[in-house]
Amino acid sequence: MIRRRTLLTALATTPVLSGVAVTTTATPAAAAEQASNTALYANPAWTEGTDWGRRSRRHLIDDQSRTDRAPFLRSTVIAPHGGGIEGGTSELCLAIAGYHPADLAPTPVAGPVHDFWMFEGLMSSGNGALHVTSTHCDDTIARSLCAGSLNVLSLHGCKPEQAGLEPGAATVLVGGLNPAFRQYLMEEFTAAGIRAVTASGEEEIAGIDPDNICNRTLLGMGAQLEMTTALRTAMFAADKNTIADRATNLLPPFWTFTAATRKAIDRVEAGQTVL
């Protein structure tokens, strides 16, 4: 199997990024994957807000009552490779957290909101050079949100060959160290008619490294979704699968995937008592 880091580095010099059809031009900065978010943020080749950006929301818990309890948000949704790095993951991160990707209004899918964090590539090309593997994600906000959550769901994009699947496969690979969370995700995707398989093999695809950002939770385990290019492409209108257009061109498969994922989060949270 092709190693994820090797393949992603190669993608930075080819005309197709994972899930985003753009014309790319290799740059000196694309020669090697960034060692960490800290290293990337310090790299003078890129500027925050122009070449890359971060978005997050931590919901307020304000409990001033001695008799009643404010709700504790159990789950965080993250997209470590959003924007033009692994196309579609930013939009899914927002929707699964409970917000419409276009304007952060409540989504059509009813239910609670969740904390979220994402790192996004904003360049017109070459966003693959901004990739930081999940075990090396050390963004301060990302780490703090995950460390304060019972559950983390990390969203990623992959190509079928990275996951040992047939070309053109529209599939989600379910990984991470939380077995109950994985089970509920598999069941809800299957019930929704979405092809789901258990992620296995390479650690980065399976999300089984304890240092993976998805597993840096209060429980020491979380869940990771690797969505193939074909699965993500089907969620957005034709010729609108770009950083600028995706949020306002969502197709029914996007909401089907969002609803199934949120149901799985609801199920895992239902079994977690907060003392």
pLDDT, tens digit, 9 for 90 and up, residues 74-99: 999 999 999 999 999 999 999 999 99
Q: Which position has the higher pLDDT, 14 or 86?
A: 86
What is the pLDDT, as a whole number, of residue 275? Answer: 77
Q: Are 127 and 134 in contact (CB under 8 A)?
A: no
Q: Which position has the higher pLDDT, 9 or 251?
A: 251
Q: What is the pLDDT of residues 222-262, one digit of tens each?
A: 999 999 999 999 999 999 999 999 999 999 999 999 999 99
pLDDT at 1 over 70: no
Residue type, position 128, single letter:
G
pLDDT band at 4 (very low <50, low <70, confident <90, very high): very low
Rounded to an integer, what distance in angstroms lies between the CA atom of residue 91 and that of residue 23? 22
CA triple 188-177-118, angle to 5 deg: 75
Helix ranges (H only) for 98-158 are 140-147
Closest CA to 32 of 167, 115, 153, 128: 128
What is the pLDDT, as a whole number, of residue 120? Answer: 98
What is the pLDDT, as a whole number, of residue 32? Answer: 67
What is the pLDDT, as a whole number, of residue 73? Answer: 87
* Average pLDDT, integer, range 21-47: 71
Coil, strand or helix: which one is 98? coil
How many angstroms separate the most distant Cα atoms in the chain?
A: 61
pLDDT band at 18 (very low <50, low <70, confident <90, very high): very low
Q: What is the pLDDT of residues 124-155, one digit of tens each?
A: 999 999 999 999 999 999 999 999 999 999 99
pLDDT band at 22 (very low <50, low <70, confident <90, very high): very low
DSSP 8-state secondary structure symbol assigned to residue 113? -
pLDDT at 28 over 50: no
Place of tokens 């790095």: 85
Q: Which position has the higher pLDDT, 185 or 22?
A: 185
Q: Of the segments 30-34, 198-202, 241-245, which one has the largest average pLDDT value?
A: 241-245
DSSP 8-state secondary structure symbol assigned to residue 48? B
- Sheet with 196-198, side-by-side order of all strands: 52-57, 115-121, 75-83, 151-158, 223-228, 172-175, 196-198
What is the pLDDT, as a whole number, of residue 106? Answer: 87
